[in-house]
Amino acid sequence: MAADGTQRASGAETVYDTGQMRRLIDGLATALAEDMAGREELCLVGIQRRGDTLARRLAELLGEETGREIPCGSLDITLYRDDFDSLAQQPVVGQTSLPFAVAGKTIYLIDDVLYTGRTIRAALDELSALGRPARIVLAVLIDRGGRELPIAADQVAATVEIEPGEEIQVHLMEDDGEDAVLRYHRP
C-alpha cells in the first residue's frame, strides 16, 4: 500500500523505499552541483511524466546547495516519439514548458528511468527544435539497462538489473503519494 493509502498494483516489489529514495535524490543533486560548478548559463529540463517532477525537486535542492535559483522546465515528448503513429487514436499531448531560451545554455536533462534510450532521443530532438544548447547533460535516477539506441547517462543515481518480463517504476510523492522505486513482475 502506498503512503497515501492507495493500493499498488499486485506483483510490486520495493527496490528502494522512501529513505533510500531520499539518499538517491540527494546524491544525484550533489553530483549535479559538482558538475555545475562555475557554469552560469544552465537550467534543468525534466521529461514528463516523472522526470519533470524529479527536475523540480532537484532544482530546489540545488538552489539550497548553490545559493542560487536554478531555472527549471519540462518537456512533453509525445510529438517527437518514434512510435507516435502507433499511439492511441487520440494521444494525450501535454505541454512543454521552458521559461527560458535553450540556445547557448547547459541543459541538464532529467528523467526517472533510462531504458531503451528512445525517450531521450525524442527529448534531444525536441530540445534541438527549440534552439542549440551549448551542452546537454543527461541525469537519471535509475538506469535499468536494455538500450536499443547508443545513449548513456552522464549522471546515474542507481542501476537496477532486471529480468525479462520485469518493469521498474519510480513513484514520487507529488505524483503517486509515495517515494519508492518498484519492480513489477509481469505474468
Residue 157: give its domain's CATH number.
Answer: 3.40.50.2020
Name the residue type at position 81. Answer: R
Mean pLDDT of the chain: 89
Residue 187 belongs to a domain: no
pLDDT 10s digits, 37-88: 888 889 999 999 899 999 999 999 999 988 889 999 999 998 876 654 545 5
Predicted confidence band of residue 164 (pLDDT cuts 50, 70, 90): confident
Residue 179 belongs to a domain: no
- The pLDDT score that the predictor gives to residue 138 is 98
pLDDT 10s digits, 75-108: 999 887 665 454 555 566 678 999 999 999 999 9
Residue 48 belongs to a domain: yes
What would the grid cell of residue 2 be?
502506498
Residue 34 belongs to a domain: yes
Mean pLDDT of 142-165: 95
Residues 6+ apart with CB under 8 A from 38: none
**Residue 45 contacts residue 34 (beta carbons within 8 Å):** no
Residue 167 belongs to a domain: no
In the block, residue with C-alpha cell 551549448? 134
Residue 176 belongs to a domain: no
- The pLDDT score that the predictor gives to residue 5 is 41
Residue 37 belongs to a domain: yes
Task: Quote the domain boundaries for residue 127.
Answer: 20-82+95-162
Helix, strand, coil shares of the chain, percent, nearest 5, are 30, 25, 40
148 vs 3 pLDDT, higher one? 148
Residue 182 belongs to a domain: no
Q: How many domains are there within the chain?
A: 1
